Chains A and B, each alone.
Chain A
Amino acid sequence: MFWRVEVKEKDGFYDALGEAVKKDIEDLGFAGKVKEVKTVQVYLLDGELEEHHIKKICENLLIDPVTQSYACNGDTSGEEDYKALEVAYNPGVMDPVEESARKAVKDLGITALKSLKTARKYLIRGNLSDGNIHSIAENILCNKVIQHVVKNGSGAMAELPPYQFKLRYVDILNAGEQKLKSISKTGQLFLSIEEMRAIQRYFKSLGRNPTDCELETIAQTWSEHCKHKTFRGKIEYREEIQNPKSKIQNKSKNPNSKFKTTEIDNLLKSTIMKVTKELNKPWCVSVFHDNSGIIRFDEKNNICFKVETHNHPSALEPYGGAGTGIGGVIRDPLGTGLGAKPIVNTDVFCFGHPDYPYKKLPKGVLHPKRIMKGVVGGVRDYGNRMGIPTSNGAVLFDENFIGNPLVFCGNVGIMPKEKSFKKVCKGDLIVVVGGRTGRDGIHGATFSSGELTHKTKSELGSAVQIGNPIQEKKVTDTLLQARDKGLYSAITDCGAGGLSSAVGEMGEELGAEVYLEKVPLKYKGLNYDEIWISEAQERMVLSVSPQKADELISVFESENVEATIIGKFVGDGHLRLFFNGENVCDMSMEFVHNGLPAIKRKAVWKRPVFAEPRLRAADDLTPDLLGLLATLNIASKEWIIRQYDHEVQGGSVLKPLQGVNGGGPGDACITKPILDSDKGIILSCGINPDYGKIDPYWMAASVIDEALRQIVSVGGDISRAAILDNFCWGNTNKPDRLGGLVRASRACYDIAKAYGVPFISGKDSLNNEYSTGKKTISIPPTLLISCIAVMDDVTKAVSMDAKKTGNALFLIGTTKDELGGSQYYKMKGFVGNKVPTVDPVCGKKYMNALTKAIRKGLVRSCHDCSEGGLAVALAEMAFAGGLGMSIHLGAYKRPAKQRPLPNESLLFSESNTRFIVEVADENAFVRAMRDCPAWKVGYVRNDGAFKIFDLNEKVVVDTDIAKLKTAWQKPFAKF
């Protein structure tokens, strides 16, 4: 019998979720119209269940007897004054509660339950029309990609139709150009015409047509996501020759500008990977090779780090997209070497403006506020449930992220050093471990490689998945046990492309045979090719010697994790797939991996020219400073940070929020992975899309500098640092977009090489554009640099909060006239042109001197100058420490050649490689910093006043730390 159970809060108990929904409805424009929202949890149970069973299940499991009551089978008494809106998951979408709830019912001794699904009912009271309710459902409560509004329903579950096997061939042997194009398009293969022709040639040589499964396999393997065609291909690059008189740009639009053309073969190898190769650091263990980059940690352990993006899924279904983003990147360290234990997460997001008017929203786009809340919630729930601290990150806003948000997720793992390498052996069995396979995430790899349009949502909804972090946690727990027992010889994660990519990669040398009917399924009805390319989450693929298979499977079984043999690595270099004995795919691995035709793209770079504001030397810059602290990019992200568990595993030494009661933004976090050792790792990140608008070269240079100076700020040493690159770009088929990418990559080589810091891993996400049919919105060129550094003694760490009255404040580094792309200009509505540059030769000297000073214990606090410049850095240090400051810019001696800078530049210019340092013993510090520009600019005061005096000793900022902190906290206080 079918039962419908509704659980809700008893009268008098606070419905916190209902209150939160009410607030969202008010923000949607119904303030005053909505009086109350109550939430009801709906359970739909099916099976041979009697009334006494249901009573037992409800009273012992489904309700909290203190705060909740339940009603069965449509008893809606008391709901007369409310409008009801019920939201349920679409068929085929994983219901996250189902698995554990079924187990719990079994624990009660009830075995007759056949299925259990959930839904949520919202009871809304107020002056709202049916149209209003529809709009609330659309905009807040229901995402059509995974959910639907239940119509007058008992919510009975639809049975999926039974599956019938039919092998399908695609006729390409006789296809002309138009037909080939249309095969690629209708099959959602995202393959170019050249690629389709190469496939046609291969199958002509075999004398037969490909099966759908073979075409899918090629499309997955050759996708931009998997093969990085742009970075590894050939590029004909033309760059405008800059006016030699102007150091960094041509000032006016010059119609006669001259171009220089160069040929680039493999941008990745000739820039980013080249740095690592030339630096040849002995502590780089495995780089650009495995699922993440591995470096040495201590005598016994290595650590690995990977950062991925999950932009397109997060645009369509923010909660699921971001959750599976973090879930996916955790599987990278887990699939590195023989598996690393995940120890820290990082997250960096770029969104449109959360106050964007609903009416102006481009068609098909979710509102940025909804995206932001969903993304944060997704990362929170996945990371927290996995028990991995999320300790570092950044959040940035720009209107050009409106159609295409960026979601970067990173994970660090630790492993015994002898577990750092893998080897697939001939005759090994292929074992899939973890979650079951469903229709989720089909075409993810190809979809992420294309452009988003307003139609994407309906066409490619299945590319979005909801994660199950507890499944992944179980896999992690058991996998590490199996690793330590030496039960498998190679491992990789099932990510983009699913089994197709995982098995294809592992079997590249030897070849593989897979029996697809053996793959455990979530539900019946999947076609063979769907099983093969499904991107269902929480799965790992292992290569296991036949002698060890039984023991391996029993390790997983002991903690309720499924492990299934699905094939073997045969050794004849072929990829062969079977479904109940029928051969559905047979290709040579050589063609699958190396048959991709080389592409050649054109790129051009010409510097854009932006309007330059005229600064009117204002007498009082206090309002500007308060305004800057309240801009979204600078304001406190406490609302987000506190939703992440950053203390779990107990290794947090320096936290994301620092100072008195965690009242200030830390530069970097420090974690000790081994609790009884004082050795730790520092994580930081640099990102600045505002600079990318002006010149991707200096953007890349600046973000590398930023990530490194944050490491130094907390006491790290850049000679022990490694970095990761994540490029998010617009459509690189367009020469101007690709030109910017070339410039950014070149900066990566120049700057990282000069600093002596190797890249150990990276990833690119191209085609981040949103097309509404008529208009295309491209994201600004964005490079995230994530940095990891090993710190020998974490007890030497320094935080950014001002510590003691009377201590001196020093500025290290040189302030230049570089307000281009600054947050100050952004606040004033400008971009400007004078983007900050980097001098890595000087920079390295300053950083090394400061590292030594901190190691000697000469520094009480340190903060790097980044967004908002000197004034923002000082203000943050002051209110974080609950202490005031007096700053005298007259003490700042400019370099001999530099003209005097206006106050705006001195305070808000974002020149690189600058630090504010609080010092007790001035003489010792000055000695330690000899040969570096170190100016004493002021001191810490006890009264909370915050004053800045300009070059002429005139006060230009006069406020106090309470006002500064209030301004900084205000923007996100309302969320």
Chain B
Amino acid sequence: MRKPKVIVLRTAGTNCDRETAFAFGAAGAETELVHINELTGRRKKLNDYSILALPGGFTYGDDVASGKILANELKFKLEEDLQKFIGDGKLIIGICNGFQILVKAGLLPNLAGDFQTIEATLTLNDSNKFEDRWVYLKNPNDKIQMTKCVWTKGINEVIRLPVAHGEGKFIPRDDRILKTLKRDGMIALEYTDEKGRKKGYPYNPNGSIEGIAGVCDRTGRIFGLMPHPERHILFHQGPEWTRTTRKNTKEGDGFTIFTNGVKFVRKHL
């Protein structure tokens, strides 16, 4: 079977590109690390790939605001390519800085449907500092068996992933947007405690409204999240593996997200 092709987009300050590529590779995809100059210089074409991954990092130093400068670059220099990519039903995932980029480019949550209205933001953590910690996450749609998000399908128990960011507080622009996100199942992951209950800091590490950790667009194909699923692909990357006596467990909690993406491409594209 032909392997789905994933483009892992890099630029100055991207730093989670290799492990993101590793995760997609482990999930059965063919991955390529591509610098944005190769796309804007037309040496590579976005359309040759089925999944666009925007990995974590500090693109352009997160100067001015996190993700903002690359978001503008996508918006002003690659708009047509992106529209076509999305229109063709292809997948996009933005992790951490990638999530910030998607939100600041207007690609998430994109309720207006025009790919440019800014409907939410990711801003400075309430603690005013960068924090690295393992969080508990829940897919809030698990009970109704109708997860819209392509990427979080089948995640029906509390999972653990690390967060590592200074600007991860998700704020919808207004109440109407928040209500729509909830009503239409676009909140894909929420910060919770061990038992899946919503709690304050440090369980919600940044003060995100309603503990929102990840959202998708209306199609469920564009997904952004602050936690790092690519850092928990393997059992031994986990936070408390030395406490268990489990043997032979190969996979970490983040792996499903990548296999979901790859499976979707195989089935639909």
Contacts and interface: CB of A to CB of B under 8 A. Distances in A.
B18 A649 contact: yes
Nearest to A881: B243
Nearest to B10: A477
Contacts, number: 177
Contacts of B129: 20, 643
Interface stretch (A64-72, A397-405, A492-500): A64-72
A477 B11 CA distance: 10
B203 to A, nearest CB: 10
B63 interface: yes
B49 interface: no
B175 to A, nearest CB: 13
A647 interface: yes
B58 A647 contact: no
Contact of A386 (B15, B72, B73, B242): B15
B72 A101 contact: no
Interface in A788-820: 794-795, 797-799, 801, 803
B234 interface: yes
A64 B121 contact: yes
Given A560-B12, A655-B239, A794-B236, A100 B164 contact: no
A967 interface: no
Contacts of A659: 240, 243
With most chain B CB atoms within 10 A of its CB, the pick from A65, A649, A650, A655 is: A650
A801 B239 CA distance: 12
B26 to A, nearest CB: 8
A448 interface: no
Interface string A633-666: 0000000011111111110111100111110000
Interface stretch (A465-473, A503-511, A901-909): A465-473
Interface string A663-706: 00000000010011010000000000000000000000000000
B133 A662 contact: yes
B58 A384 contact: yes
A875 B61 CA distance: 41
Contacts of A955: none
Interface stretch (B82-90, B139-147, B215-223, B225-233): B225-233
Question: Size class of A's contact patch?
Answer: 35 or more
A644 B162 CA distance: 13
A16 interface: yes
Contact of A14 (B64, B73, B126): B126
Contacts of A662: 133-134, 239
A103 B164 contact: no
Interface stretch (A104-112, A585-593, A596-604, A841-849): A104-112
B128 A17 contact: yes
Interface in A451-478: 468-470, 473-474, 477
Interface in B90-143: 104, 118, 120-121, 123-134
Q: What does DSSP make chain B's interface, helix, strand, loop or mixed? A: mixed
B128 A385 contact: no
B35 interface: yes
Interface string B204-216: 0001000000000
B5 interface: no
A927 to B, nearest CB: 21
B108 to A, nearest CB: 13
A795 B123 CA distance: 38
Contact of A645 (B127, B132, B134): B132
A650 B19 contact: yes
Interface string B53-72: 00011101111110011001
Contact of A104 (B60, B128, B237, B242): B60
Nearest to A801: B243
B52 interface: no
A650 B242 contact: no
B68 A61 contact: yes
A107 B73 contact: yes
Contacts of A861: 242
A107 B76 contact: yes
Given A16-B126, A107-B69, A559-B35, A644 B132 contact: yes
A474 B239 CA distance: 31
B79 to A, nearest CB: 12
A590 to B, nearest CB: 42
Given A470-B12, A648-B15, A387 B37 contact: no
A67 B64 contact: no
A653 B15 contact: no
A104 B72 contact: yes
A643 B132 contact: yes
Of A646, A649, A797, chain B has the most CB atoms within 10 Å of the CB of A649
A19 B234 CA distance: 39
Contact of A109 (B65, B76, B173, B237): B76
B13 interface: yes
A373 to B, nearest CB: 10
Contact of B228 (A62, A108, A642, A647): A647
Contacts of A61: 64, 68-69, 72
Contacts of B130: 380, 384, 643, 645
A385 B61 contact: yes
A558 B35 CA distance: 9
B69 A96 contact: no
A60 interface: yes
Contacts of A655: 239
B58 A67 contact: no
A167 interface: no
B149 interface: no
B264 interface: no
A181 to B, nearest CB: 45
3 nearest A-B pairs in the assembled complex, by CB-CB distance:
A387-B15, A650-B19, A16-B128
Given A675-B22, A799-B242, 14 more contacts: A13-B171, A16-B127, A60-B72, A62-B64, A66-B173, A67-B123, A385-B61, A473-B13, A560-B12, A641-B132, A645-B132, A650-B230, A650-B231, A861-B242
Interface of A: 13-14, 16-17, 19-20, 60-62, 64-67, 96-97, 100-101, 103-104, 107-109, 380, 384-387, 468-470, 473-474, 477, 558-560, 641-650, 652-655, 658-662, 672, 675-676, 678, 794-795, 797-799, 801, 803, 861, 881
26 contacts: A19-B128, A61-B68, A64-B123, A97-B64, A100-B12, A100-B64, A104-B69, A380-B130, A387-B16, A387-B58, A468-B61, A470-B61, A477-B10, A558-B35, A641-B132, A642-B133, A645-B130, A646-B132, A647-B162, A650-B22, A652-B237, A653-B237, A660-B243, A675-B19, A675-B234, A803-B243
